[in-house]
Amino acid sequence: MPQTVQGVVALAKSEPVQLVDIVIPDPGPGEAVVQVQACGVCHTDLHYREGGINDEFPFLLGHEAAGIVEAVGEGVTEVAPGDFVVLNWRAVCGECRACDRGELQYCFNTHNATQKMTLTDGTELSPALGIGAFAEKTLVAAGQCTKVDPEARAAAVGLLGCGVMAGIGAAINTGAVTRGKSVAVIGCGGVGAASIVGSALAGASPIIAVDIDERKLAKARELGATHVVNSSEVDPVEAIREIVGGNGAEGADVVIEAVGRPETWKQAFYARDLAGVLVLVGVPTPDMTLPDIPLIDVFGRGGALKSSWYGDCLPKRDFPMLVDLYQQGRLDLDAFVTEEIGIDDIEAAFEKMHHGDVLRSVVVL
Ligand code: APR
Ligand code: ZN
Ligand code: ZN
């Protein structure tokens, strides 16, 4: 029997979100219904509300979530009712050309639930990133559920479902940060802060945090940054070179851009050592173009200019491992939960996010 539960929906562009009744179908083949326990508020949710992703209103928002599997459809073997799971927005297909060559992190055909959740009048909902977890329950593809240690705090581990995984993965997966590497992170919001945590976990040193907001820099220091640079006061490229320059280095081995703007990408480009790696994990808007950089500098500086989709993560590999590190006290995911809020507090959370007051507000159900 389809169930009616409450969920947070963006009905029209730039209108405040509303808590309304939504209808969750029984899970069909390959699907699961998950009882949501916690879901972080991410910029992408606000982008959906602003029409910045696409025009397929109404959106069921929320996508950084953890919960308990309530029911599964036919043929589902990877999860079962009662499992504690973190939701991911990249259920890999196993069949596309990326999957075929064993690069599942690039899967070009990730999938979501086939059936649609709806409003009570039957209007189909577009779930944010194929998840839609600002709701008591949600319908997803079973592959979007990754089983993790059930003892873990849902509000903290749910964040692995998006921004925190993107940041940690940008460092350890895309940037291949290891001990002995110097790292600079430009932009220390939720994503950049997670890159700092990931770099610290991997043993990198120094770890240089760059931001224009002193509050973010203070937090970055708590999370493992060894140096902080306020780029509204000093030239970050010069500052980074000075910090790492003792052995003649012309910049950091790995520079992670976690803002998503041409000017900060350009800083990251020049803040690398020769043959260094630039990782773009911040998401630019469609109007932005590459900064004006002489092509000879691209050649002359060498190295790699990479993008990091979702931290190049493999949920089945990365989520349980990171949750175990969290449970062992080696990965401070609690530090990302600035506040726990109710499901009717999302507009207020958007406002705080907009002002940079929080790393993450997390809805707890
Ligand atoms: N130089 C350095 N830091 C900057 C600059 C700048 N010119 N402009 C903004 N910042 C900092 C902000 O002060 C903030 O700390 O970048 C950080 C951005 O953080 P958030 O707004 O919290 O965003 P976050 O969730 O971390 O996401 C970062 O990744 O997933 C994408 O869409 C997301 O593009 C965004 C980026
Ligand atoms: Zn695939
Ligand atoms: Zn997100």
Q: Give the per-residue pLDDT at 247.
A: 87
Residues 6 or more apart whose CB falls under 8 angstroms from that of 283 comprise 260
Ligand 1, atom 25, residue with closest C-alpha: 190
Fold of 3-161+332-364: Quinone Oxidoreductase; Chain A, domain 1 (3.90.180)
Q: Say if 3-161+332-364 and 167-308 have the same CATH topology.
A: no
Answer yes or no: is the C-beta of 169 below 6 A from any ligand 1 atom: no
Give the rounded percent of residues in the chain with a pLDDT score beyond 70: 100
List for the chain the helix, strand, coil content (%; round to 5): 30, 25, 40
Crossing angle of helices 214-223 and 190-201, rounded to 10°? 20
Q: Give the per-residue pLDDT at 116.
A: 98
Contact 251, 273 (CB under 8 A): yes
Answer yes or no: is the C-beta of 301 below 6 A from any ligand 1 atom: no
Q: Give the three-state DSSP class for 340.
A: strand
| Residue 11 burial (10 A CB sphere; 0-12, 13-18, 19+) | middle
pLDDT along the chain (365 residues), means of 10: 97 97 98 98 95 95 98 97 96 94 94 97 97 98 98 98 97 98 97 98 98 97 98 98 94 98 98 98 94 98 97 97 98 97 97 93 97
How would you classify the pairing of strands 227-230 and 207-211?
Answer: parallel
Distance 105 CA to ligand 2 centre (A): 8
Q: Give the per-residue pLDDT at 246.
A: 86
User: E-assigned strands of 61-219?
Assistant: 64-72, 84-87, 118-119, 126-127, 137-141, 145-147, 183-186, 207-211
Answer yes or no: is the C-beta of 201 below 6 A from any ligand 1 atom: no
Task: Specify the CATH number for 167-308; select among 2.60.120.10, 3.40.50.720, 3.30.70.360, 3.40.640.10.
Answer: 3.40.50.720
Q: 105 vs 92, 133, 271, CA distance in Å? A: 8, 23, 27
Contact 57, 18 (CB under 8 A): no
Q: Cα 141 to the chain's mean position, in Å? A: 19
Contact 173, 315 (CB under 8 A): no
Answer yes or no: is the C-beta of 190 below 6 A from any ligand 1 atom: yes
Ligand 1, atom 35, residue with closest C-alpha: 282
Structure pTM? Answer: 0.96
Q: DSSP secondary structure string, 322-337?
A: HHHHHHTTSS--GGG-
Closest alpha carbon to 39 in 120, 154, 168? 154
Q: Could you give the angle at the alpha carbon of 353 between the alpha carbons of 348 and 20, nearest 5°? A: 40
Q: What is the distance between the alpha carbons of residues 92 and 108, in angstroms, rounded to a whole number?
A: 8
Q: Cα 219 to the chain's mean position, in Å? A: 18
Q: What is the distance between the alpha carbons of residues 311 and 172, in angstroms, rounded to a whole number?
A: 8
Answer yes or no: is the C-beta of 216 below 6 A from any ligand 1 atom: yes
Q: What is the distance between the alpha carbons of residues 191 and 188, in angstroms, rounded to a whole number?
A: 7
Contact 208, 223 (CB under 8 A): no
Q: What is the distance between the alpha carbons of residues 37 and 338, in angstroms, rounded to a whole number?
A: 17
Domain boundaries, the chain: 3-161+332-364, 167-308
Q: What is the distance between the alpha carbons of residues 43 and 304, in angstroms, rounded to a whole number?
A: 28
